[in-house]
Structure 1
Amino acid sequence: MQRDVLADAAPFEDSQAPPKAGLTPREAAMNKEEETVLWRALEQVPEAYRVPLILYYREGQSVERVGHALGLSADAVRQRLSRGRRMLKREVAGFVEQSLERTRPGKDFTLGVLAVLPKLASFGAAAPGKAGAPAARSGGLRSLLGVKQAVAAGGAAFAVIVLAAAFYLYASRPDMSKLASASSHHLILASEPVMEPAQDRFNDSPSEEASLSPLPADEAPTVATEPQQTTGKPRVIHFPEDRFLGTLSVQTRPMSRRYRLGPNYDWFDEWEYLGPAQGDVTVPADMPVRLSVARTALRDLSPLSELGPYDLSGVYISYPRSSGQGSGEAILRHLRGLTGLRILYLCNVDAAGHSLGFLENFRELEELQIVAGYFDNSSLRYIERLESLQALLLTGGFVTDAALAGLGKLQLLRELQITADNIAGPGLTELDSIKFLKLDGAMYGDEALRYLKEMDSLRSLTLFGSTFQLSDKGLAHLSSLVNLEELRLVHMRTITDAGIVHLLPLRSLKLLDLHNNPVTDRGLAHIATMQSLEDLTLPYTGITDAGLACVAELEGLRRLRARGNCPADPTEAGAFTDRGLVYLSRLKNLEELVISSGIGITDMGLEYLAKLPNLRRLTLMANGLTENGLAALATSTSLRRLQVNGPITISGISRLNALRDLEFLRAGPAVVQDYSGLNLAALTKLENLSISCHGEGLRDEDLACLANLTRLKWLQGIGGSALSDRGMAHIEKLTALERLNIRGDLITDKGLSYLANMRAMNHLSVQGNITDRGLRHLENLDALRNLKIDSPYPFSRATIERLFRELPCLNTFNGESIGYGSGPLPPTDDE
């Protein structure tokens, strides 16, 4: 039985602090009225938030002691304190507002409030309280509402008006008519500041967004003079205590990609979840921090202007499409003080005109991405002043070649990805420092490639899209790029075997991507002579075992993607057979292989693949596999990531338990349940797991082996008709999970309770018998962005509104996008 943590606490009305010596009856009456207002408001706050407030402020317990008493983490206590204070403020404000409407205060009240306002200037000079110390016992209402010694002018005005209003309500009562003419002196006494935890910082009033012409001189950002030094010690970032701004991640390992804008074939990048951006956040020593701004914070980003220049390394802002494009001016004016920022990502944001002028002094910005937004020539004129910029991605704008040429001033710019339908190509000739270039647009074609011949620095080139008007003849313009190392020709349906001949002079080429192009085995015969190749992606169709024989001539090949097509008819052989795998077994340097076929690939072919000494990643989709083939793969000493699809069984998957260093495993979507019991308990390094069964699916006992796989970040495809809450209990300790997709006919609200501590979760999909009560268990998942709950029971409007309030990062719910104006919503009667 859970103990009552408030059992020993004195009743609120009986636990008043001893009156100060010399208090007049008027002052004592004011204090009493203040407590009455507070108690009425507290009664309306849900118990989950009321209890931490009382323990922290009335009982004087620390955050740690409150957490211990309630069985919560320190972060959860801070979150509940912050939300509780917000609820309390709403209740007090509503109570005062209703009362003022009834009583219509006269000039005495107005004069009293005006007399208090001059004293606000002196608040800022008060010495701050000790960090983390509970609030002083006197002034319960002021303490809980967040009035501090170092209060900002707006917050102080709110607090004083509330206190003055409380005094007026008291003074206007018939039995206190003699006190109705109280002088402003006593109102000033009532506004005396109280001690508060130093980390509590409030900013409840959203700033008004003024429209901008060219950036005014007085709005210009301050240039940072000192870069952040590595100290080898943890540091603290001070976010508002009462505002949830988003989620934080820290960079724990170096970037694995060669280029910032290049494709990332790793399922997990170098960033790991740290926690919510709220209150004081401790950052591990010398780790860069990235902020992903929450949906609910988009309406007022002014708290970002209070951060230090080097507090954040990256900021990611994405506006929901359902809300229209975000205003670049309204956003970036609040970022202008973050002059030490290195990465800025803006999605669905209008960055045209003078918006980017706020970034003019971002001397250390290295990467800027404006995705699916809007930009124009004016945008580029500001971008060309970002002297440290190394990578630039722009999609969805309208610029001219002349404006594009202006980027040539950026001597450090190495990567550019731009989508624009009105660029013909001349502007590219001025970009003589670019190494990575990705182009997509209707006006690009053979003539545009003519301008690339002068880009001697180019090392990686991607031409993307079926609208790109490129032919075999146009590829001839690339033959002079002798330093080119990567070439991606994606969705180019007009490139044939004849065009491949023009690529033969590219003796430095290491990567060639022919994704969805009509190149055949004949074209691969030309490619076989390009011995510099290390990475090759083949077209979906037109390639057979004969083509793989040509590929096997590339002795230095490390990565091969031969996706082909897995025939719908399970009796078809498919494009590749075991013979093709025999050819590929000659590639002793091969590290990654993706291959798809029909029944032509069998267990025998897998025996050849298992002998490849350096094969680390294997994606195999074939209809001729059995558990014996998986047993052969289990003998590999190098495999780290495995994706397999075919008529395999649970016992076959359990054979993979011998791959102790496996980090990624995906099996399905047609795994057969043979009731042998899944066993993957030895795969303790696993970070990503997906097992999709047909028919009955997985059972509760199959999930038992997952309990110790504490490194898991993604768990998907898990489901079965017999899966219940008992199976959910097996994954309760997997608190590193970021994505979970699970279904079970017997999963209930109790099953969701096992997910309550998965604070890193950002994508969650659950199918079961879930009700309104079950959704309450998800309210602490601060990082949750996408949520899908498939249940036969409808959810009430009040429950959904509450969910939106409690999950400010939530972008989609049951497939529908949530606009940034969706919350917070007023509490409903049933809360």
Structure 2
Amino acid sequence: MACALLVGMAAGELSGAGKALNPPIDVKVLHFPAERSVGDLLVEDESDGWDFFGPAQGNVVVPVDRNIKLTIHLVGPRPDDLSGLAELGPSDLHELSIQSSIRRTPASRPRLKSLSHLTGLRVLSLGNTGVTGQQMESLKSLSSLQSLTFVREHSFGSAGLAALKNFAALEYLDCYTRPIDAGLKHLAQLPNLKRLRLRMGGIRGPGLAYLAAMPRLERLTLWGTTGLTDQHIRYLEGLRRLKSLKLWGNDTALTDASLASISKLAALEELHLVRLKTDFTDAGVAKLTNIPKLRVLGASPDDASILAGMEQLESVDGIALNSRNMKALAGLSNLKSLGLKLDAPVNVSAGNPGSMLSALKSFVADPVGNPVARLDALKSLEKLHIGGWSGRAKCFGDEELALLESLSGLKDLSIPVDGLTDRGLASIGKLKQLESLHLMGMGKNNRLSNRGLNHLNGLSNLRKLSMNMQSKVWLGDDDTPLDLSGLTNLKNITLISIRLKGSDWAFLANQNDLKDLWLNNCGVCPEDGLRYIKDLPKLKHLDLQTVDCTEGDGLAILDGLKKLGSIRMIGHVTDRALGRLPSLPSVRLFDVETDVAIRPATIAHLKQVLPNVRNVNVKQPGAQSRSPMPIQGVSTTRQGRSQNSRRRTRR
């Protein structure tokens, strides 16, 4: 059942005698205190993400065929904040997240025993709650638990790890608990654990050898800013069943000694190095060629010819883009994902020709000339990301994009561009399998028009479109209407410094799958342009700069966006316009920066129509942002993302 059909029945509609009524067979009722919200309820969507459903307050009707998640944000010092879960059934929740905004003392720790009746719970996340091993013992009835995450739980200790023996069904464990070596031996008691994530800092090294006794461990992540050295990696040599190793962050460079240890992991299929300092040599990387099943390689040599015999490789990252390396990669027929770095200009089509003399010399001996031409041999390539550029590297232009036309199977393309024109967009438009496109403008030589953007209209599989030109790219040189109507599968649009005219905003019409819309510095979004947003049923995040919203007609029609979770606008947004904002109970973040004064009465109206926003933030001239007091019991969630970055010394 679509969640939209249930919105009117949420948050206390069933009360009193209604509580005894039998709900329809395709829904169920979750019972929470009527007088306060316990937290936020989310319902799993069709793509395994989560949609905000409403506050956990009163009797809430939810669909029976969707997983339910409850997030609780503890803001007060009371230890009994979890008493509101008492009337939940054993399997009412699939996932529970409890996060505290303050560091808990023994007297203020939440009483986790209140969770012990939730025996069908599959996923539990605890953050800064002060949980102890004794408290985890009280939760041993949660026998269905498959995923357990601890964030900044420094009171957990080795006794806490020992208590995990009660959770035999665990498949995933994330320990941000400052574990020590002695405590790691207890993890061998988890017979079904497949994925383990450990925060480094308190582990000297020998304890990592205990992980070899874990019978089903396949994926291991070691992360932190300290405590990851060659010595630590040496103790991983016994993990002969390990399939994936991710090393994330350190303050001491890893050397070839670490690669020698990793080369002994005979079952390893994936090696990921993220923001990692290294001092590897090509000879050290060559040792990894002895791992027979290695498919994903994050430790890349300067000379890619070292990889020539690793025909099983499917993913390589951090290879310098030059003719020698591209020629070496041509023999990797199974390569699907390639990350390249630009240490020198690709060609002489952009920038100062004098600064590219060294690059020209490197091409003289290569009859192909431009190294990008050699990518043609990688017929299996699906993902191409190019980064690591310096001030000397003037990125891709039309010539390089023309050379990519033969990569007909490409699904994910992320490149820095300079000298991009409509001709280059025409080349991209021939990559019919593209699902994700990210263009980063690194100079002032990009010249586009509506006619050029319309070349993308045939990319019917495109789900993510991101164009950040950094400096304005004018699209008004012709009278061609902007037409992206063929991009019917878009879920995310990010346009920065793409100059749009008023009528161009119509390209948003009929984007029925769009979830995220970020249009920044794209020219003035007229109030009439907002009418194209009102019919985007799946939109969750709206970020617009610069907006001209005087009368509020565009805001008044947003009430149909039942999944909208965040609104951010910068521009001319008047008091009258904000006063016409309709009730949006799904919104949890509201941030407006305007150039005119807003009355306190209008702020009060915003608080009323945005009941699940903790802080209504309106920044206006001559005053600090006016925000009502936080609404107790309403939580916020934060998502972070990280990117891999690599150079010879990873950081």
Range of TM-score over shorter length: 0.7 to 0.9
Selected match of 1:197 from 8, 18, 22: 18
Kept in 1: contact 2:549–2:577 (CA 8 A): no
Query: How far apart are residue 385 of structure 1 and its match?
Result: 2.0
1:172-571 residue pairs with structure 2 within 5 A?
Answer: 196-198=17-19, 234-240=26-32, 243-252=36-45, 270-273=48-51, 275-276=53-54, 277-284=56-63, 286-293=65-72, 300-320=81-101, 323-324=102-103, 329-330=109-110, 332-374=112-154, 375-395=156-176, 397-431=177-211, 432-433=214-215, 434-441=217-224, 442-468=226-252, 470-490=254-274, 491-514=276-299, 521-522=302-303, 524-538=304-318, 543-564=321-342, 571=351
**Alignment pair present for 1:702 and 2:504:** yes
For residues 807 and 499 of structure 1, what CA distance do their matches in structure 2 show? Answer: 58
Selected match of 1:782 from 576, 585, 588: 585
For residues 384 and 563 of structure 2, what CA distance do their matches in structure 1 show? Answer: 31
Query: How far apart are residue 436 of structure 1 and its match?
Result: 0.7
For residues 344 and 812 of structure 1, what CA distance do their matches in structure 2 show? Answer: 30
Kept in 2: contact 1:552–1:586 (CA 8 A): yes
Q: Which amino acid aligns with 1:446?
A: D
CA offset digits 1:442-469 (Å, max 9, x no partner): 3332222222111122111112213255
1:707-786 residue pairs with structure 2 within 5 A?
Answer: 707-748=509-550, 749-771=552-574, 774-775=577-578, 780-786=583-589
CA offset digits 1:333-369 (Å, max 9, x no partner): 3322212111112334333453333422111111111
Q: Which amino acid aligns with 2:511?
A: L
Q: Which amino acid aligns with 2:290?
A: P
Q: Which amino acid aligns with 1:752?
A: L
Kept in 2: contact 1:760–1:781 (CA 8 A): no
Q: Which amino acid aligns with 2:174?
A: L
Kept in 2: contact 1:757–1:780 (CA 8 A): no
Q: Secondary structure at the match of 1:455?
A: coil
For residues 378 and 484 of structure 2, what CA distance do their matches in structure 1 show? Answer: 30
Kept in 2: contact 1:459–1:486 (CA 8 A): yes
Greater helix content = 1
Query: How far apart are residue 783 of structure 1 and its match?
Result: 3.9
Kept in 1: contact 2:52–2:565 (CA 8 A): no
**Alignment pair present for 1:637 and 2:448:** no
Q: Secondary structure at the match of 1:526?
A: helix
Q: Which amino acid aligns with 1:290?
A: K
**Alignment pair present for 1:615 and 2:396:** no
For residues 114 and 583 of structure 2, what CA distance do their matches in structure 1 show? Answer: 28
1:291 to 1:631, Cα distance in 2 relative to 1, 3 A: same
Match of 2:643? none
Q: Which moved more, 1:559-568 or 1:496-505?
A: 559-568
For residues 737 and 469 of structure 1, what CA distance do their matches in structure 2 show? Answer: 44
For residues 811 and 475 of structure 1, what CA distance do their matches in structure 2 show? Answer: 49
For residues 179 and 50 of structure 2, what CA distance do their matches in structure 1 show? Answer: 36
For residues 399 and 820 of structure 1, what CA distance do their matches in structure 2 show? Answer: 41
The alignment's C-alpha RMSD in Å is 3.7
Q: Which amino acid aligns with 1:75?
A: V
Match of 2:644? none
Kept in 2: contact 1:244–1:297 (CA 8 A): no
1:377 to 1:74, Cα distance in 2 relative to 1, 3 A: closer
For residues 318 and 778 of structure 1, what CA distance do their matches in structure 2 show? Answer: 31
TM-score (norm 1): 0.64
Structure number, greater radius of gyration: 1
For residues 538 and 105 of structure 2, what CA distance do their matches in structure 1 show? Answer: 32
CA offset digits 1:263-290 (Å, max 9, x no partner): xxxxxx6224262145555544533222
1:784 to 1:817, Cα distance in 2 relative to 1, 3 A: farther
CA offset digits 1:524-559 (Å, max 9, x no partner): 2212332221111116xx553432332232111111
CA offset digits 1:690-718 (Å, max 9, x no partner): 22225xx3233111121211110011125
1:570 to 1:604, Cα distance in 2 relative to 1, 3 A: closer
For residues 755 and 296 of structure 1, what CA distance do their matches in structure 2 show? Answer: 31
For residues 196 and 626 of structure 2, what CA distance do their matches in structure 1 show? Answer: 32
For residues 199 and 423 of structure 2, what CA distance do their matches in structure 1 show? Answer: 48
1:590 to 1:237, Cα distance in 2 relative to 1, 3 A: farther
**Alignment pair present for 1:75 and 2:7:** yes
1:234 to 1:580, Cα distance in 2 relative to 1, 3 A: farther
Q: Which moved more, 1:495-504 or 1:777-786?
A: 777-786
Q: Secondary structure at the match of 2:235?
A: helix
Query: How far apart are residue 389 of structure 1 and its match?
Result: 0.6
1:643-662 residue pairs with structure 2 within 5 A?
Answer: 643-646=438-441, 647=446, 648-662=448-462
Query: How far apart are residue 570 of structure 1 and its match?
Result: 6.4
Kept in 2: contact 1:716–1:741 (CA 8 A): yes
Match of 2:630? 822
Q: Which amino acid aligns with 1:310?
A: S
Kept in 2: contact 1:405–1:430 (CA 8 A): yes
Unaligned segments of structure 2, at least 5 residues: 364-368, 634-651
CA offset digits 1:469-524 (Å, max 9, x no partner): 5221232112211111111123223233332122121111111124xxxx6532x2
Kept in 1: contact 2:326–2:374 (CA 8 A): yes
1:483 to 1:604, Cα distance in 2 relative to 1, 3 A: same
Unaligned segments of structure 1, at least 5 residues: 1-71, 83-130, 133-145, 149-195, 201-231, 254-268, 826-831
Query: How far apart are residue 781 of structure 1 and its match?
Result: 3.4
Q: Secondary structure at the match of 2:545?
A: strand
Q: Secondary structure at the match of 1:350?
A: coil
**Alignment length (residue pairs):** 585
Query: How far apart are residue 796 of structure 1 and its match?
Result: 5.8
For residues 627 and 307 of structure 1, what CA distance do their matches in structure 2 show? Answer: 58
1:453 to 1:520, Cα distance in 2 relative to 1, 3 A: closer
Query: How far apart are residue 790 of structure 1 and its match?
Result: 1.1
Q: Which moved more, 1:409-418 or 1:466-475?
A: 466-475
Kept in 2: contact 1:319–1:820 (CA 8 A): no
For residues 758 and 388 of structure 1, what CA distance do their matches in structure 2 show? Answer: 39
1:531 to 1:271, Cα distance in 2 relative to 1, 3 A: same
Query: How far apart are residue 720 of structure 1 and its match?
Result: 4.2
Kept in 2: contact 1:246–1:297 (CA 8 A): no
**Alignment pair present for 1:580 and 2:580:** no
Q: Secondary structure at the match of 2:511?
A: coil
CA offset digits 1:388-435 (Å, max 9, x no partner): 11111122x332211111011000011111113111222222222321
For residues 563 and 782 of structure 1, what CA distance do their matches in structure 2 show? Answer: 45
For residues 565 and 794 of structure 1, what CA distance do their matches in structure 2 show? Answer: 50
Kept in 1: contact 2:27–2:64 (CA 8 A): yes
Query: How far apart are residue 373 of structure 1 and its match?
Result: 4.0
1:564 to 1:485, Cα distance in 2 relative to 1, 3 A: same
For residues 587 and 76 of structure 2, what CA distance do their matches in structure 1 show? Answer: 14
Greater relative contact order structure (CA < 8 Å, 6+ sep): 2
TM-score (norm 2): 0.80
CA offset digits 1:539-584 (Å, max 9, x no partner): 6xx5534323322321111111225479899616888998232211
Greater strand content = 2
Match of 2:463? 663
Q: Which amino acid aligns with 1:588?
A: K
Q: Secondary structure at the match of 1:270?
A: coil
For residues 383 and 450 of structure 2, what CA distance do their matches in structure 1 show? Answer: 25
Match of 2:646? none
